[in-house]
Amino acid sequence: MQMFRLALAPVLALVAGLASAADTVVDDRYLANHGDGANWAAYGHDSSEQRYSPLDQINTGNVKELGLAWALDMPGERALIGTPLAVDGVLYFTGTWSYTRAVDAKTGKLLWEYDPKVIEHAGDRLRIMWESNKGPAYYKGKLVISTVDGRLVALDAKTGKMLWETMTIDPRRAYYITGAPKVFRDKVIIGNGGTEHEAARGYVTAYDIETGKQAWRFYIVPGNPAEGFEDKAMEMAAKTWTGEWWKYGGGGNVWNGITYDPEFNQVLLGTGNGSPWNQKIRSPGGGDNLFLCSIVALDADTGAYKWHYQTVPGETWDYNSSMDIVLADLKYGGQTIKALMHAPKNGFFYVINRANGELLSAEKFGKVTWAERIDLKTGRPVEIKGARYDNGEAMVWPSPVGAHSWHPMSYSPQTGLVYIPAIEMAGVFVDKGMDLKAWKSPHFHVDPGVVFATADTPKDWSTASLLAWDPVKQQKVWSQPLPPNWNPGTMVTKGNLVFQGRADGELVAYDATSGAKLWSVNAGSGLTAAPITYSVDGKQYVAQLVGWGGAGLLTGSLAAQHGWKYGVHPRRLLTFALGGKAPMPPSPPPAFAKPLDVPDFKVDDKLAAEGLALYAKSCVQCHGSGVVSGGTAPDLRESPMPLTLAGFKSVVVDGGRLARGMPKFAEITDGELERLQHYIRQQARASLAAAAAH
């Protein structure tokens, strides 16, 4: 026996050695460190979510020599908004409808592709879906992707072969997934979205990464008390709700921010807004409505509640806390604190002690008019009177787009600064004239319980900036203006460079200390994805997915001003290195819709107003507010399709363009189509008149 074992051992070692000659074992130990920077193995680089790379071959001294190493064009792609991963010289990324690719990181050669066939799986859920996905997760040789129709799919990272897939939502409900899965301790976790489309009750589920079997699930808000609570946390949360909230779902969906904190073996959730947004409907007697808009810490092994901190008690503005949660050791007067940093939509920058959820500091990083400040004694905001549209109407900063949206921030332990893609924009909240008591949750269409996206957003309604923020002093160190307003996430490197793309298609490198602009290149299309960096054979690369997309595009003229019209500009992966000499592939100039003039069409204002109500429910998400498309779908003001009832019907009701992502609305009647026609012509005419007046 002993002999046999001795003889076999070297053979086994040899076989293992051959199979994994250069393979990095991406496990918890690996992800807990920055490593040497060769790989970008997780969404936020490593479990800290800092998006800090220890590579410094490209640095402030030589970044001017950065040039294109290779480009991969991807015809047919639309919204490339995710963060690619780089492991052992291979890039992995998800694209439109979670289409997944593996590419040689040195040459751009396609190694394998995997199509999760989302449109076929989705059915009617196509109508509530974003086409975009924020990226895959990598763990011990597996790549796990999420699909917008609600699945997790595990692939063999070497071959792209599917290992398992599991449905994470009830497909009869209007939930969807756009977020990246996260991995820890042989599990993979995912949340979902749906707060605006359904009586949604948010939850996260952890699955065994080997088998796809459910390990645990945690609900964010309590269900109907009559059916009993899942756990003590829900029992506690239920005391902060009033009325019959469970009929409206409550919300809290975790659609983005999830961080695994290895030092406390806890999962930190950034939870979503209320379903519906309007608290007067959801919880008419008020209350904090736990665990909406919170950071919730769970035991990573069991999913049991540990602690929470709520950023917006009783939320009513869509101010979710779904933004990224970044871990760092911060120095507070001689003491090192294991902190988390969080810059949610509500405009405050929070530093929290991860050991117990204690708030250390919170300051405004942009214009905020819903609250004066956060009281550090109670940890609660001091609200400004009237902000809750108590009288039926209020203009409040920030807007539902947020002072910071999901585009991830980064943190450099070297400069001690956080780099935030910040937005300054007001939101107008109106529920005057709505019958709040009669309001019903939507089912597969948009209705947040407050008037929403019923007018075009003017192109100068908002400003944006890249903000370098000192999290300890809680103050701005420098900022650079950005085009309004949907700019990508940031990355920072040991080379003391901050990289960030822009809505206008520029990819820029800044000096991380001073904010000086050191290098830039035009990518030929609007950017929404955060860049990454990695190295192969000792050479450092910077990779950028080029693809305009996401919820910010529904803001009509605000998004359309950059000219990234539907279907016109290329989608690609660009990779840069020092001395790179590859020519930038061509791209057409910015393009703008030309609304059709149809003089014979007599617009009936009453029908148009009814058309607007239908449009806001079912079309605005993709075709844009005020019928001005930001690029997700064709601009209907210039489309000939709505001009005839037959043509309009073939696309909208019969599903003639289903395979290309235009959902089927079988329930829409001829009368409703007619109302939509009046609204579209009214908007087309208004834009023509405005253009003529200039």
Q: Contact positions toward ligand HEC, by CB under 6 A?
A: 127, 129, 618-619, 621-623, 633-634, 636, 639, 641-642, 648, 651-652, 657, 660-663, 665, 676
Structure tokens at 226: 């009559």
CB of 621 to ligand HEC, least distance (A): 5
Integer Cα distance of 394 and 2 in angstroms: 80
Integer Cα distance of 127 and 145 in angstroms: 21
CB of 137 to ligand HEC, least distance (A): 25
Integer Cα distance of 643 and 658 in angstroms: 20
Residue nearer to ligand HEC on the CB measure, 9 or 455: 455
CB of 567 to ligand HEC, least distance (A): 6
Structure tokens at 468: 């370098």
Long-range Cβ pairs for the range 210-218 (8 Å, 24+): 210/186, 211/164, 212/152, 212/154, 212/164, 212/165, 212/166, 213/166, 214/166, 215/187, 215/303, 216/302, 216/303, 217/303, 218/269, 218/296, 218/298, 218/303, 218/305
CB under 8 Å to 238, separation ≥6 — which residues? 222, 225, 229
Residue nearer to ligand HEC on the CB measure, 85 or 593: 593
Instruction: Report whether 528 contacts 551 (CB < 8 A).
Output: no
Integer Cα distance of 203 and 168 in angstroms: 10
CB of 660 to ligand HEC, least distance (A): 4
CB of 596 to ligand HEC, least distance (A): 10
CA angle 684, 687, 689 (to 5 degrees): 110
CB of 554 to ligand HEC, least distance (A): 10
CB under 8 Å to 602, separation ≥6 — which residues? none
Distances (CA, A) of 531 to 80, 545, 575: 12, 7, 10
Residues in the chain, how many? 694
CB of 692 to ligand HEC, least distance (A): 23
CB of 662 to ligand HEC, least distance (A): 3
Integer Cα distance of 515 and 479 in angstroms: 7
CB of 275 to ligand HEC, least distance (A): 19
Integer Cα distance of 414 and 50 in angstroms: 12
Residue nearer to ligand HEC on the CB measure, 101 or 445: 445
CB of 320 to ligand HEC, least distance (A): 21
CB of 641 to ligand HEC, least distance (A): 4
Could you give the dihedral angle defined by the CA atoms of residues 135, 555, 670 and 126, in that order, rounded to the nearest 10 degrees? 10
End-to-end CA distance of the chain: 91
**Whose CA is closest to 39, among 50, 55, 28?**
55
Residue nearer to ligand HEC on the CB measure, 79 or 295: 79
Integer Cα distance of 6 and 160 in angstroms: 36
How many CA atoms lie less than 13 Å away from 597 in the CB half-sphere? 6
CB of 639 to ligand HEC, least distance (A): 3
Residue nearer to ligand HEC on the CB measure, 187 or 565: 565
What amino acid is encoded at 47 in this protein? S
Residue nearer to ligand HEC on the CB measure, 322 or 632: 632
Ramachandran sector of residue 160 (left: φ over 0; alpha: ψ -120 to 50; beta: rest)? left
Instruction: Report whether 250 contacts 198 (CB < 8 A).
Output: no
Residue nearer to ligand HEC on the CB measure, 341 or 662: 662
**Whose CA is closest to 240, among 313, 168, 136, 132?**
313
Residue nearer to ligand HEC on the CB measure, 364 or 681: 681
Integer Cα distance of 635 and 126 in angstroms: 19
Integer Cα distance of 97 and 147 in angstroms: 7
Q: Where do we find the tokens 């290992």?
A: 163
Residue nearer to ligand HEC on the CB measure, 471 or 663: 663
CB of 127 to ligand HEC, least distance (A): 5
CB of 418 to ligand HEC, least distance (A): 34
Residue nearer to ligand HEC on the CB measure, 516 or 645: 645
Residue nearer to ligand HEC on the CB measure, 101 or 637: 637
**Whose CA is closest to 74, among 415, 570, 692, 517?**
570
**For residue 309, which phi and psi values (nearest 5 degrees)?**
-135, 125
Residue nearer to ligand HEC on the CB measure, 220 or 636: 636
Integer Cα distance of 524 and 527 in angstroms: 9
Integer Cα distance of 358 and 218 in angstroms: 22
Residue nearer to ligand HEC on the CB measure, 388 or 675: 675
Residue nearer to ligand HEC on the CB measure, 500 or 621: 621
Residue nearer to ligand HEC on the CB measure, 198 or 261: 198
Integer Cα distance of 584 and 525 in angstroms: 12
CB of 76 to ligand HEC, least distance (A): 10
Q: Where do we find the tokens 């990819």?
A: 507
Residue nearer to ligand HEC on the CB measure, 174 or 636: 636
**Whose CA is closest to 619, among 457, 431, 453?**
453
Residue nearer to ligand HEC on the CB measure, 134 or 388: 134
CB of 614 to ligand HEC, least distance (A): 7
CB of 681 to ligand HEC, least distance (A): 13
Instruction: Report whether 106 contacts 89 (CB < 8 A).
Output: yes
Alpha-carbon dihedral sign for residues 12, 17, 23, 28? positive
